[in-house]
Amino acid sequence: MSENTDNNILEEVTSGEYKFGFFTDIETDLAPRGLTEDTIRFISAKKEEPEWMLEFRLKAFRHWLTLKVPEWAHLHYPEIDYQDIHYYAAPKKRPQLNSLDEVDPELLDTFKRLGISLDEQKRLSNVAVDAVIDSVSVKTTFQSTLAKKGIIFCSFSDAVKNHPELVKKYMGTVVPYTDNYYAALNSAVFSDGSFCYIPKGVRSPLELSTYFRINAANTGQFERTLIVAEEGGYVSYLEGCTAPQRDENQLHAAIVEIIAMDDAEVKYSTVQNWYPGDKEGKGGVYNFVTKRGLCKGQRSKISWTQVETGSAITWKYPSCVLLGDHAIGEFYSVAVTNHFQQADTGTKMIHIGKNTRSTIISKGISAGKSNNSYRGLVKIMPGATNSRNFSQCDSLLLGSRCGAHTFPFIDTRNHSSIVEHEATTSKISEDQLFYCNQRGIDTEKAIGLIVNGYAKEVLNKLPMEFAVEAQKLLAITLEGSVG
């Protein structure tokens, strides 16, 4: 009916609570607050790193000192005091990787409450998990199963120790520390993350996943993930994240690098559910992430799927550099913002090789007083003849106090390529809600249904096990947004 009725319904429904806001009291090993070369030496020493890694960190740190915080995004937040953050926090009891019995029961319980069982017997049988809490990886499951195929799946720290040649060869080749402010920061202080290597001709029999949890207070999380798929390799990878409910903001600045050789394929899916802050906009995670994939080989393919429901601030542009001829890049995104959340997210598709193709499907959903922006770049280089891009950016508004923005950039430098861009903006109408109500479906369920329908194209790209979770998450995020 009237605008007012619309808004009232939307408000009632999208003021739900964050369900992963609990804090686990684990004994934590903490670096002192602040960031100096000493902090970096402290982290490196804690992780018993080789000299070359420390050098990499220090170079990145010195570069970071010369950089300014980027201000081009459509985001507003108070200046971050980088000297007021702990850059390293680790559960004190370092568990043995081979035995679950030796993992701190508090930790096991934490992951259980998050719906992640680290017990291989009880785990979904086709998913291997690397669980990262604060700055360290606590457990990686199914390592031996994967090792039989020659697949390496371990924490980044273990990779530095056990596979230094691979880490040296690939780290920083897709996202150099000079890339941007947050990438430089991460390169200086990154703590842990996952490493995955798929040898030539191997298809990973399991979905690989990393589960990130920020637990300690006033800590930043800076993880780093590196995935390399050799010729003909295939892996589907999933990342999930949550954090306790806190009044102060927490910083998260990650790097993900993917490299795909000839005929290799990597699917990277994210369900991002960092604490978004409360209804008044207090607290929440600042999420500044650099994710980039390099389609190095011919006919290689990298596909990003993201469901972004959490964080107070999201600054994230998972991108593909399509270097090899006939390479394919894909970006499928659902970003939901509610209350006072702000998201500036999208992708970059850089076409360098001939006959390269890219697809971008972005679905933004804004509720409450939130702001949701799509920002994308499609760049087709002179040598990328006969390349194609298709982009579709849709925005859905719930209520009339939220914002949706689209900033698409297209830069085409040859005449044989085709770039298509479509964009729509729509609102959940009172007509749709009443139609559902009249069939007996209450307003909250109706919004879940409509939003999931709107996002279906993207949700369908998620691995089966996670699609269901993601659907529920969308509905929960919007609880209380409709009024």
Partner 1 sequence: MLLNIKDLTVAINGKEIIKGLNLQVNKGEVHAIMGPNGSGKSTLAAAITGRDGYEVTKGEIWYKGQNIVGLEADERANMGIFLSFQYPVEIPGVSMTNFMRTALNAQREYRGQPNIPAGEFLKLMEEKKKMVDIHAKLTKRSVNEGFSGGEKKKNEIFQMALLEPTLAILDETDSGLDIDALRTVAKGVNELRSSENGFVVITHYQRLLEYIVPDYVHVLSDGKIVKSGTKNLALDLEEKGYEWLKEEAAV
> Is 55 among the residues that bind partner 1 (CB under 8 A)?
no
Which of the ranges 103-111, 196-204, 337-345, 440-448 carries the binding residues for partner 1, by CB under 8 A? 440-448
Tell whether residue 435 is a contact of partner 1 (CB under 8 A).
yes
Question: Half-sphere exposure (CA, 13 Å, Cβ side) for 474?
Answer: 29
Interaction between residue 470 and partner 1 (CB under 8 A)? no
Stretch that binds partner 1, among 1-9, 89-97, 147-155, 241-249 (CB under 8 A): 1-9
Question: Is 431 one of the binding residues for partner 1 (CB under 8 A)?
Answer: yes
Please report whether residue 453 would count as binding partner 1 according to CB under 8 A: yes
For position 294 contacting partner 1 by CB under 8 A, the verdict is: no
Report CA dihedral (230, 234, 240, 241) to the nearest 10 degrees: 10
Q: How far is the CB of 458 from partner 1 (least distance, A)?
A: 10
Helix (H) or strand (E) holding 42: helix 37-46
Smallest gap from residue 445 Cβ to partner 1 (A):
7
- 336 is an interface residue for partner 1 by CB under 8 A: no
Which of 54, 67, 80, 449 binds partner 1 (CB under 8 A)? It is: 449
The reply on whether position 427 binds partner 1 by CB under 8 A is no
Residue 442 binding partner 1, by CB under 8 A? yes
- Residues 393-404 as b or e (16 or more Cβ within 10 Å = b): bbbbbbbeebbb
Q: Which of 135, 115, 103, 160 is nearest to 19 (CA)?
A: 115
Q: What are phi and psi of 422, to 5 degrees?
A: -125, 145
2 is a site residue for partner 1 (CB under 8 A) = yes
Site for partner 1 in 366-425 (CB under 8 A): none
Q: Give the residue, chosen from 445, 463, 469, 476, that forms a contact with partner 1 under the rule CB under 8 A.
A: 445
Spatial separation of the C-alpha atoms in residues 52 and 299, rounded to whole Å:
34
Q: Is 9 in the site for partner 1 (CB under 8 A)?
A: yes
Binding range to partner 1, per CB under 8 A, among 22-30, 336-344, 430-438, 462-470: 430-438
Residue 205 amino acid letter: P
Provide the 3-class DSSP secondary structure of residue 203: strand
Shortest spacing between CB 8 and partner 1, in angstroms: 8
Residue 467 Cβ vs partner 1, minimum distance, rounded to whole Å: 13
Q: Does residue 203 interact with partner 1 by CB under 8 A?
A: no
Using the rule CB under 8 A, is 178 a contact of partner 1? no
Q: Output phi, psi for 235, to 5 deg.
A: -150, 145
Question: Nearest 5°: phi and psi at 288?
Answer: -115, 105
- CA nearest neighbour of 185 among 76, 52, 66, 316: 66
Residue 6 identity (one-letter amino acid): D
Convert 317-364 into a string of H (helix), E (strand) and C (coil): CCEEEECCCCCEEEEEEEEEECCCCEEEEEEEEEECCCCCEEEEEEEE
> Radius of gyration (Cα) for the chain, nearest Å?
22
Q: Is 452 in the site for partner 1 (CB under 8 A)?
A: yes
How many of the chain's residues bind partner 1 (CB under 8 A)? 27
Pick from 439, 408, 432, 431: nearest CA to 421: 408
Among 1, 71, 125, 415, binds partner 1 (CB under 8 A): 1
Please say which residue, 271 or 475, places its beta carbon nearer to partner 1. 475
Cα(226)–Cα(382) distance, integer angstroms? 30
CB atoms within 10 A of CB 443: 17
Q: Please report, as ranges, the residues that interact with partner 1 according to CB under 8 A.
A: 1-2, 5, 9, 429-432, 434-443, 445, 449-450, 452-457
